[in-house]
Amino acid sequence: NEAVDHFFQGQALRLYTPLELSFSASKLRNMDALSKSDPMLVVYTKMDGRLEEIGRTEVILNSLEPLWITKAMINYQFEIVQPLVFRIYDVDTKYHNTPLKTLNLAQQDFLGEAFCNLSEIVTKFNHSLTLNLRNGSGHALQGTVTVHAEETASSRMAVDMQFHCLNLDNKDTFSKSDPFLRVSRLSESAVAIPICKTEVIKNNLNPVWRPITLTSQQYSSKDDPLLVECFDFDASGNHELIGSLQTTIAQLENLYNSKAGANFYSHKGQKKLKGQLFLDKFQEKVQHTFLDYISSGFELNFMVAVDFTASNGDPRVPQSLHYIDPSGRPNSYQQAILGVSEVLQFYDNDRRFPAWGFGAKIPRGSVSHCFNLNASTNDCEVVGVEGIMSAYSSTLYSVSLAGPTLFGPVISKAAEIASHSVQYGNNKYFVLLIITDGVITDQQETKDSIVRASDLPLSILIVGVGNADFTQMRILDADFGKRLESSTGRVATRDIVQFVPMREVQGGQVTVVQSLLEELPGQFLEYMRTRDIKPRPPQHASAPPAYPPPPPQL
């Protein structure tokens, strides 16, 4: 929702999943003459090219097959690539009584190192990955290291709640307020971090909202402070505060059990109001997490569609948004493709990505609003991130930029693939990235195609590049509390669009990719849970994925 987006983009505070990493090694080199090596493992994250140590294991004496007890904690964030480095040392006997944290690693024998991204571990069956050890120059050494990631039990806890209010203050002159609730977690510095909100109830001072679910990742602990605010919805986004109250999950549980109401207070708690908050439901539950699905064989299949309309400018001139810089500096389109695909590629088993263009006149043809970037074959798929980048570059010189800007055909094509996949199983979820420089001219057709796609395993990420007025584009991203409605009056079953203008997040602490991807695990889980699709049991999880035959090509 808009509050969450605004806060995250301004503060760079993100929701994450705490993981515990365990380590073992096998067939290590023996560096000692009269006994076996005494190995210790050190784990690092790589931040902006720098290594940051996050933990050290204990030293295990005389072992070339160590199974360390000491764990390392790390916060998994889906929307970023998290590189890890593991280094193993043979600790010299004379340092065995030295505290581990003060141990000088340069004085120990180096047994080897290994690299991976955290997403490579969590996508594996049972969250375990074995890596070959290498020396500092990258050459293979004897031995392997195995890393196992485990979610803490608390990360699966959640609570379902249903709220209603009585006697809310009326903020409208000619009608009644349109109330909705926003729940925020209060940080140690008393900053409110929005974590959830209800739908808007029109023209009602005694609203009853649909149930909401809060996960333990959102509320932290049952005794951590929460802020519940009731607003009168305004389409401009300037919602007026009706009242607020501070509480905790534990206090909300007591409120439910007592069947009593809690009074709202005016701004900054200055005045007690007559409006009250009640709970009709409070139910704790253990629920499957995003990683439960991913590690049991569920996939995120990436697709991309690129805007080749004339408003981008002639690709041969440096002012063009499609200009390929000879120095290798990526343009806005390349930045978006690289950033999103580098994160999502680890969640796609075959790494074959459908890639389309729209808004250009194709060779020996007319203007097309959905054509394959892979012109060498009749296949819409390309292989790997490099395949997308190569197909994009070659397409720039083989088509004539034209127009207008239409989203409907590419969204319908992506929906066709997602719909086709559902017939063969439910372990695939599709992610369509659309990169555009302009305002769409088929807004109603686009809305209709999004509403139809909201029933499918599909999310749509839209990046706006350049300096166009993207006001209308925000309507597609139903973050203002109102779901999209089709021309026939059908309402989208869920919000599947995330729109980010590149210029608004460039230079900030949160990247375009993070802003785009932050809602994706939630959209994935909403689709799976509303259809009661559960992670696969372990005996099926390791089976190779069954790929359905491809749908008919354009």
**Per-residue pLDDT tens for 118-149?**
999 999 988 999 999 999 888 989 999 999 99
Select the more confidently predicted residue: 451 or 238.
451
Band of pLDDT at residue 505, cut at 50, 70 and 90: low
Q: What is the pLDDT of residue 5?
A: 42
Mean pLDDT of 293-317: 95
**Per-residue pLDDT tens for 74-102?**
999 898 899 999 999 999 988 888 888 88
Least confident of 279-283, 443-447, 509-513, 549-553: 549-553
Residue 11 to residues 193, 224, 506, 513, Cα–Cα distance (Å): 9, 20, 14, 16
Highest CATH level, class, for 17-151: mainly beta
Band of pLDDT at residue 378, cut at 50, 70 and 90: confident
Domain 157-286 has CATH 3.40.30.10: no
- Top mean pLDDT of 17-26, 92-101, 494-503 is at 17-26
Q: Is the pLDDT of residue 6 over 80?
A: no
Extract the tokens encoding 276. 């009250």
Q: What is the pLDDT of residue 269?
A: 64
Q: What is the pLDDT of residue 32?
A: 80
**Per-residue pLDDT tens for 242-266?**
999 999 999 999 999 999 999 999 9
**Per-residue pLDDT tens for 34-48?**
889 999 999 999 988
Say which residues have a Cβ less than 8 Å from residue 80's Cβ, sequence separation at least 6: 343, 511, 513, 514
3-class SS at 17? strand
Longest dimension (CA), the chain: 90
Neighbours of 392 (CB within 10 A): 23
Domain 302-325+338-380+400-531 has CATH 1.10.286: no
Q: Where are the domains of the chain?
A: 17-151, 157-286, 302-325+338-380+400-531
CB 245 within 8 A of CB 277: yes
Angle between helices 332-344 and 384-396 (to 10 degrees): 160
Say which residues have a Cβ less than 8 Å from residue 203's Cβ, sequence separation at least 6: 175, 176, 177, 178
Q: Is the pLDDT of residue 9 over 50?
A: no
Neighbours of 553 (CB within 10 A): 10
Q: What is the pLDDT of residue 189?
A: 76
Say which residues have a Cβ less than 8 Å from residue 438's Cβ, sequence separation at least 6: 307, 309, 311, 405, 466, 468
Say which residues have a Cβ less than 8 Å from residue 290's Cβ, sequence separation at least 6: 17, 78, 521, 524, 525
Least confident of 223-237, 281-295, 469-483, 531-545: 531-545
Q: Is the pLDDT of residue 14 over 50?
A: no
In the chain, the percentage of residues whose pLDDT exceeds 70 is 91
Residue 90 to residues 61, 110, 268, Cα–Cα distance (Å): 9, 6, 59
Q: What is the pLDDT of residue 153?
A: 66
Least confident of 14-18, 315-319, 496-500, 545-549: 545-549
Q: What is the pLDDT of residue 101?
A: 86
Extract the tokens encoding 315. 């690709």
CA dihedral 405, 411, 416, 421 (to 10 degrees): 140
Select the more confidently predicted residue: 3 or 128.
128
Q: Is the pLDDT of residue 550 over 60?
A: no
Q: Is the pLDDT of residue 539 over 70?
A: no
Angle ∠(386,391,395) on CA atoms, nearest 5: 155
Q: Is the pLDDT of residue 224 over 60?
A: yes
Q: Is the pLDDT of residue 323 over 60?
A: yes
Mean pLDDT of 372-393: 90
Q: Which of 470, 410, 402 is nearest to 434 (CA)?
A: 410
Band of pLDDT at residue 70, cut at 50, 70 and 90: very high
3-class SS at 268? helix
CB 296 within 8 A of CB 541: yes
CA atoms within 13 A on the CB side of 33: 0
Single-letter amino acid, residue 438: G
Q: Which of 7, 105, 13, 94 is nearest to 56 (CA)?
A: 105
Q: Is the pLDDT of residue 10 over 50?
A: no
Q: What is the pLDDT of residue 544?
A: 41
**Per-residue pLDDT tens for 174-205?**
899 999 999 998 877 777 888 888 999 999 99
- Top mean pLDDT of 77-86, 284-293, 544-553 is at 77-86
Q: What is the pLDDT of residue 238?
A: 83
**b/e burial code for range 517-533 (CB count within 10 A of at least 16 → b):** bbbbbbbbbbbbeeeee
Q: Do domains 17-151 and 302-325+338-380+400-531 have the same CATH topology?
A: no
Q: Which residue has the tokens 């990719």?
A: 513
Band of pLDDT at residue 17, cut at 50, 70 and 90: confident
How much is the mean pLDDT over the chain?
Answer: 88
Mean pLDDT of 8-16: 45
**b/e burial code for range 439-448 (CB count within 10 A of at least 16 → b):** bbebbebbbb
3-class SS at 47? strand
Say which residues have a Cβ less than 8 Å from residue 226's Cβ, sequence separation at least 6: 183, 184, 185, 186, 219, 246, 247, 248, 249, 252
d(CA 260, CA 207): 16
Mean pLDDT of 332-359: 94
Residue 291 to residues 18, 131, 150, Cα–Cα distance (Å): 11, 21, 10
